[in-house]
Amino acid sequence: MKKSIRRLAVDILDQVHLSKDFAGNLLDECLDFNNLSGTADGRLLTHIVYGVLRLRGHLDWILIKLCHGNWKKTDENIKNILRTGLFQLKFSDRLPAFAVVDEAVKIARVINPAKSGLVNAVLRNYLRHSDRINFPSREEKPAEFIAAFYSHPLWLTKIWLSLFGLLNTEALCAANNEMPPLTVRVNTLKISPDELREKLKHAGFDPAPTSFSSDGLLLHSSPSPIQKTDFFQKGFLRIQDEASQLISYLVCPKSRESFLDVCSGTGGKTTHLAAILKNTGKILALDYDLNKLEELEKDATRLGITIIKTRQADLTERLPESLTEKFDYVLIDAPCSGSGTLRRNPEIKWRIQAADLAEIAKIQNTILHNAAFAVRKGGHLIYCTCSLLPRENENVINSFLRFNPDFSVCPPPPFISPRLIDSGGFFRTFPPWHNMDGFFAAVLKRK
């Protein structure tokens, strides 16, 4: 029997909880398997899954008030049935309320029959008493209010309040609950931004240049998934947030120089560096994950890039002697909490814990110290994260500089907008101000 869109949404949310995979990957697989890509049902499925993930804290605050049992011990699949039901009742008017409740009860009868009565009672209780549910006071308990109303972990809202103040924290959390822009990077090895923009217009897309990256395009509307088009298949573009694109400009590559990209992943920044270099010179990309390196190689082929060599390496270990002091530029896209990408990957909010930050920072420090050995004298070391937390950013850099006096912070290249550089000379982007992911980067020079 064919599953309903709401049932598919619950299944994906269950998988996000169990597998720790990203929702985007699971959604893509589900859309392809069920032939839903580019359809109204596919858009509805995406709307429900991401809506629940973004607003889970808000939904749970309400459900805890309505559910008389122990919410923490409630089965995750029942929680997700209730979350999808409540999300539709409160934030979507695509179905009448009685139909939403009826559908949720039907799903519960299949997945967990003993709890179908609970699902029915809780959702109907919301319809009867929604006006009685209050959130914490914004004035008296700002952290608790933002955590519950804007759906973020309490520990994170407390940190952000101390860093950014009330208004900016509210703006950040509100921005994290919005759909992020679909941003692509034009592959200038094959086509210019202006040429691709015109081609996309003729194909029914609504492209506009990004504000800071000369290679970026924002797709305000898309008649079909961009990765299903000839533009993608022919290697004219890569999906990549504008902040991520700007990291390659921080490297400021020139063809006569040598480049090492550690923690390269699937190669968003690596392939951009190659494009800026016009596919001349050499780039060595390192990562511990062989699957990611294979994806990088495939994407490099799609984009027409031949100068990237890949090698498996564990950057928590000392680099081999053959790489010591061999590179003019070393780029570290460090593993991090991902706190700057919550609007794009909202599931991160419910996975990362405050206690995890110490271990993450330890790994970042280790990688930074090990990668520094690859920088030749007079060379540059670029460290970046997609995090908004000082513990992963300037704290890591300041700790490194204390033990490595032959390195110092140097100004980013002049074509990086001064609006993105703070008083310490660090590169920072802030989602509600710049309409891109939250990134941090430091450019260090070896004396």
Domains and CATH numbers, the chain: 5-132 (1.10.940.10), 142-176 (no CATH), 182-239 (3.30.70.1170), 242-446 (3.40.50.150)
Terminal Cα-to-Cα distance of the chain (whole angstroms): 67
Q: What mean pLDDT comes out for the span 82-92?
A: 95
HEC secondary structure over 179-243: CCCEEEEECCCCCCHHHHHHHHHHCCCCEEECCCCCCEEEECCCCCCHHHCHHHHCCCEEECCHH
**pLDDT score at 253:** 80
CA distance 348 to 356: 12
pTM metric for this prediction: 0.94
The residue type of 332 is I
Q: What mean pLDDT comes out for the span 190-203?
A: 97
**pLDDT score at 1:** 65
Give the lowest-confidence range in 27-36, 52-61, 323-332: 27-36
- Picking from 25, 34, 28, 37, the residue whose alpha carbon sits closest to that of residue 7 is 34
Quick one: pLDDT band at residue 256, thresholds 50, 70, 90? confident
Whether residue 255 is predicted with pLDDT greater than 80 in this model: the reply is no
Whether residue 132 is predicted with pLDDT greater than 90 in this model: the reply is no
Q: What mean pLDDT comes out for the span 368-373?
A: 97
Q: What percent of the chain has pLDDT over 70?
A: 100
